[in-house]
Amino acid sequence: MAIKKIQSALISVYSKDKLDAIVKLLGAHGVTIYSTGGTQKFVEEQGVPVTAVEDITSYPSILGGRVKTLHPKVFGGILSRRDHELDQKQITEYEIPSIDLVIVDLYPFEATVASGATEPDIIEKIDIGGISLIRAAAKNFKDVVIISSMTQYEELESILKENECGTTLAQRRKFAAEAFDVSSHYDSSIFNYFNQEEGIERLKVSQQEAKVLRYGENPHQKGVFYGPLQQLFEQLHGKEISYNNLVDMDAAVSLIEEFEGETAFAILKHTNACGVATGATVKEAYLKAFQADTISAFGGVLVANKEVDLSAAEEINKLFCEVLIAPAFSADALALLKSKKNRILLVQKEKLKGQKQFKSLLNGVIAQDRNCVTDTEKDLKVVTKLVPTQDQIDAMLFASKVCKHTKSNAIVLANNGQLFSSGVGQTSRVDALKQAIEKAKAFGFDLKGSVMASDAFFPFADCVEIAHQEGVQAAIQPGGSVRDQDSIDFCDEHGMAMVFTGTRHFKH
């Protein structure tokens, strides 16, 4: 493929890091360099000749630097088609120099927003000239190379060395595609900043980091994760994280966040908890969680909210698990857990930040706020004659936290900071309860004195009737059925306590 030599370049960047090698390389090949302000000074410091943009345009940088490169003599040199007779005639007539390479690094808008800066400072970091240069050069990729991010400097340097300061059309087209990625992401970030206040119903999601996965949910499906996963986790050991691992990891960290201020442990399988418990230590919490379902725990995703020490690790190491997440691992615990070469060990570095959830559906996308409501004691409305004890209240709030993160229809049976069992994803609430009862009995739990949580209201009294037969003493549910009174009356007649939260926790 033909190599097009670079004879002139415009460089206008915010960050000068790692730019020196490219400047010197261009200078060594006799490339004419145009620049402005701080970038011009930087080029001069490298001992490379540079022409000020002002010398081309005959206009100085004005409006406090807001207008520097926005001029026909700059954009004409970038947009002119080298094989277009009229373009070249006008270039000659108006004495416009051709520009073969444009290097731009935009003002750091996102970083400025993230820093908590004032709105005036944020607005000043909306790049105008830079974004215009990117779009112009990318549009004319047939003749012009566009470098739109400092992350491309090393690649450009390698290409220029290999091609004697030239590029192929394929290389220029690739850089153009990446440039439009930069510009669209930049504009999306600006829109999303303004839209925090304006509330325009538009969806602009842009992620510039991507990790191709081994496959998707099944081996015949392609899978990709978009986003900065390394900001949330540090992988200390194990195989490559899979699509299904990521789905379960999301469910795991969402669930464990419910237990802030307590020592908690959870075991998940296909996004549902098969074991959850609190305890005085991580070891105790793990053993209680494992007791709830010693079968489903095999191959699960495990999560703790406190450092995993050696005593906990010795118990966990007996189980085959795909992933173990914790805020920290003691050195001896880590050494032991690494004995299984494929076991994924992750340190969670920060909490989940996203407040929105998205799902592709039909021919579009649906979005909703994350369910950030956690039922607390002040939310409870006692609707029965029997007032629950403090121990029962604590048990119900524990069960409600687990139920919130369980696929609907969901029923959770629990007591004393321990999940006994759950009925998950059933088409009727009665079936979910029956499943939970059967499972609790299978793993040796006595339901007498336990509590029951439901993710939505009881449409009939049948659930409290069945639960009462098994010894359940208290129930927590949102309430809101036209037949709530039927369930209340049954509880009153049979000495059960029941509370309403007023908040439904469907999960699909």
Distance in angstroms (rounded) separating the CA atoms of residues 320 and 340: 9
The pLDDT, as a whole number, for residue 354 is 76
Q: Per-residue pLDDT averaged across 433-455, rounded?
A: 97
- Tens-place pLDDT, residues 22-64: 999 999 999 999 998 889 999 999 999 999 888 888 777 778 7
| pLDDT for res 168 | 95
Residue spans of alpha helices (H) in 265-406: 282-291, 310-316, 331-337, 390-404
Mean pLDDT of 163-176: 95
What tens digit of pLDDT does each residue of 115-124 get? 999 999 999 9
**Residues acting as catalytic residues:** 139, 270
pLDDT tens-place string over residues 462-484: 999 999 999 999 999 999 999 99
Q: CA-to-CA distance for 99 and 74, rounded, in angstroms?
A: 8
* Alpha-carbon distances, residue 264 vs 66, 303, 304 (angstroms): 54, 8, 6
pLDDT at 424 > cutoff 80: yes
* For residue 1, pLDDT beyond 90: no
What letter represents residue 125's amino acid?
A: K
Above 80 in pLDDT, residue 65? no
HSE toward the beta carbon, residue 115, CA cutoff 13 A:
11
Q: Coil, strand or helix: which one is 116?
A: coil
Confidence category of residue 456, pLDDT binned at 50, 70, 90: very high
Average pLDDT, the chain: 94
Range list of β-strands (E), 221-320: 224-226, 233-237, 264-269, 272-278, 300-304
State which H helix or E strand residue 145 sits in: strand 145-147
Q: What is the pLDDT of residues 279-303, one digit of tens each?
A: 999 999 999 999 999 999 999 999 9
Q: Rounded CA gap, 96 and 37, in Å? A: 21
Confidence of residue 97 (pLDDT cuts 50, 70, 90): very high
List, for residues 308-342, the tens digit of each pLDDT value.
999 999 999 999 999 999 999 999 999 999 999 99
With a cut of 80, say whether residue 66 has pLDDT above it: no
- On the CB side of 155, CA atoms within 13 Å amount to 15
Q: Is the pLDDT of residue 274 over 90?
A: yes
**pLDDT tens by residue, 179-229:** 999 999 999 999 999 999 898 999 899 988 999 999 999 999 999 999 999
Least confident of 82-96, 284-298, 331-345, 420-434: 82-96
